[in-house]
Amino acid sequence: MTDSVGTVWDGRVRGYIPNPHLTVAPGLKLHERASKDIDPITFAVVRYALLNVNVEHGQTLQRLCVSPITMLTRDFQPSITLHDGDLVYLGPYIQYFSTCQSLTIKWILENRSENPGIEPGDMFLSNDPYVGSPHQPDVVVAAPVFIGDELFCWVANILNHADVGGTSMGSFCMDAPDMFSDPPAIPPVKIVSRGRVEADVEQLFLRQSRLPDHVHLDLRAAISANSVATDRILALVERYGADVVKGVMTAVLDASERTFVDRLRHIPDGEWSHRILTEGNGPGDDGIYAYHLTVRKRGEHLWVDNAGTDPQTGAINVAYAGLLGAFLCALTAAMAADLAGAYGGVHRRVTLEPVPGTLSCADFPAAISPAGAYTMETLISLSGSVVAKMLSCASPELQRMAIGPANPAFYAVITGGEQAGRPFIAPDVTNMIGGLSATPYADGVDFGGHFWIPEGIAGNVEELEQLWPMLFLYRRALPVGADGAGEYRGGRGFVQATVPWSEPGLGIALYMDESFPSLAGPFGGNPGTMARFRLRRGSDILLRLANGEVPQSVDALDGEWEPVRAKGPLLLVGATDLWEWTGANGAGWGDPLKRDPDAVLRDVRTGALDRRVAQRVHAVVIGPEDRAVDTAATATARDHALAERLREAKPPHITPSVLDPTTRIRTIAGELGLANHHGTLSFVSLTGRAVLGPADGDFTQYCAVLEQPVASHGPEFTPAAGRPGREVRYRAYLCPVTGLRIDGTVVRAGEELPPGLRLT
């Protein structure tokens, strides 16, 4: 596509944006006929049959794949599309793959329909991030389904392969300065021609991998699963007729669009934006980089842009496909989860207007391969925050759909080396355990997984020890603390420690150790947990194990701590070295000083929260033996904490008035509401009733502003000496009457931000 300013988005120099009307070779016949008059029973039967075809497609992948990241974690996605690539059904697996197959199929139609052509029995393979894949390990295999000589629809899948080349085992190449050090990016090529696997193309693809046997079997699983789905669709057509099945497909898209439009009508027109920070663009870099996202709602359509995002750099980039997939993932998880993956109609109502050459919409040859652990989750979290702001302004039934941000990175560890003389790669994705962020009405779910991969599963310790030469010393819950605190707290994550076992050593290719939390919780909630990775060298672990002791703390062992960076180089570890790393507590929602003291007491009683931390974070005083909250002492402590905030904060740029006590306030979220003030719809604070300016303006101008180092909010956020986290601030926008947080954000020192929420 060429946009209004002449930018060409063809999947070569820039990401691929399809033309509204695809340019397809005239010799390719498309089946475009669709029955309009289908009786309700037939419609329901065919609709659910198509849904089940896609479910069976996913189950076939899971059964046939051999790589743990696919077999156990479900890092894949099947789909069914129309003949033109529009999505009909998506599975319950990785949701940011929502547009990968669709974009890839549209590119195939525009670029391969003439040469080499698209014929019955063909399949195409691609892992090109500038076409449709989020990063190179995510490989699309797409199969056209023909009825006679007409292209009827497509079935496709995308899955994460164990290794597809590049400078780093596992193909998350943090040291790649550009695409030429990344794994090869393969634009769509014909991997199967008229039912026969093209051996030369297959061998070319496998030759790049450190684990060609694993990749070979997973590739054949993808091909086989497409064949199963194709057979099921052909059987449906044989029974009900092509026009009826196509009519049901188009009706499913139309119905999902109508449902989404109906929900959009309950959201006022407005503009919502947010920013998220990340640390380091690769080994040796301590820079702090920003991703920005804005959503504008006008009538029955959403416009999305990434203006304000920093320029592309290092290995923390994605192309257009990744940005679009991340936003649609967060949007559909919040607003369309009941559509069972029928998201194509939702996609019609979203227009992404990207700024090229940025971290979130990079131009070739930017490095992209680590995106599956870093930038995709960063953008999903950012998108979730923006969608949560938008839904908070909606009608009450839609407000309850807000789910907040995800973890801003997929905290994981990839190790590898030699086992019995053969290479192995171990993607430890224990963080599939997850910890969901808080919502406007409830705490996040402890160990609740991630909203962007509903079927994701963490491997059992015993399974992982059987697969890889490692011993897991412990895996346990993180405590409740300042990380994830709020009026509603985030769900709990985990901490885990591991040591090499039965082999003299291995290499750690992917790990994360943050010195600041990337993203604040919505409406004054605290950030979630920072990624922590600690490496202890030369410990006495083997001696202790030999004596029958299994240490439950790496701090209790002898040895030296090795300093690590946020995104460091390959670490070689020996038999006496061990590492500990964390998943994350999800972000909180609302001011921690508004949390129900009884909810705090429950966490103390269950052992999740230390009573001293309860007082430090929530200003809740627990009585003797944890029997009850000391109500009077708690009220005094909270009054003192709020007064201290206002004493230290900068006063508002504009002095607010106070709302008449008889005027009704409609709650947005946390401490922010809306009211009619002298005939003008205005933002107001709920408890203090301060008028924070017109709803189409910037309410932060009427707030007291308290900006402090993130580390000052507790030891949970303390960075190591010399790390950039000491320069990062938490900026709280306070009600100037009460001192309660109305909103908050993590910022670089001195950084100015546009309004994050305004109604138009």
CATH of domain 39-258: 3.30.450
Which comes out higher in pLDDT, residue 41 or 504?
41
CATH 3.30.450 domain range(s) in the chain: 39-258
Strands 150-160 and 29-30 turn out to be: parallel
In tens, the pLDDT along 324-335 reads 999 999 999 999
pLDDT tens digits along 99-108: 999 999 999 9
Question: What does the pLDDT average to over 387-395?
Answer: 98
709 alpha-carbon distance from chain centroid = 26
- Is pLDDT of 268 > 70? yes
- Whole-number percent of the chain with pLDDT over 70: 100
**pLDDT number for residue 700:** 98
CA distances from 216 to 53, 136, 213, 426, 745 (A): 24, 16, 5, 17, 46
d(CA 113, CA 119): 9
pLDDT tens digits for range 284-323: 999 999 999 999 999 999 999 999 999 999 999 999 999 9
pLDDT of residue 1: 67
Residue 37 burial (10 A CB sphere; 0-12, 13-18, 19+) = exposed
Reported confidence tier of residue 243, pLDDT bands at 50, 70, 90? very high
Q: How far apart are the C-alpha atoms of 75 and 69, rounded to whole Å?
A: 6
**pLDDT of 466-476, one tens digit each?**
999 999 999 99
What percent of the residues of the chain are helix, what percent strand, and what percent coil, each to the nearest 5? 30, 25, 45
Residues 628-637: tens digit of each pLDDT: 999 999 999 9
Q: How far apart are CA 399 and CA 392, in angstroms?
A: 5
Q: How far apart are CA 617 and CA 198, in angstroms?
A: 61
Q: In what order do the strands lie in the sheet with 494-500?
A: 470-477, 494-500, 578-582, 533-537, 560-562
> What is the predicted pLDDT for the residue at 421?
79
pLDDT in tens, 704-754: 999 999 999 999 999 988 999 999 999 999 999 999 999 999 999 989 999
Tell me the per-residue pLDDT of 334-390, one tens digit each, with 9 for 90 and over.
999 999 999 999 999 999 999 999 999 999 999 999 999 999 999 999 999 999 999
Residue 13 DSSP one-character state: S
- Give per-residue pLDDT as tens, 476-497: 999 999 999 999 999 999 999 9
Does residue 420 register a pLDDT over 90?
A: no
Confidence (pLDDT) at 504: 87
pLDDT tier at 418, thresholds 50, 70, 90 = confident
What's the rounded mean pLDDT across residues 541-556?
96
Cα distances (angstroms) measured from residue 352 to each of 67, 170, 382, 596:
34, 31, 15, 40
- Average pLDDT, whole number, for the chain? 96
CA–CA dist 276, 288 (Å, integer): 10
Express each pLDDT in 613-653 by its tens digit.
999 999 999 999 999 999 999 999 999 999 999 999 999 99
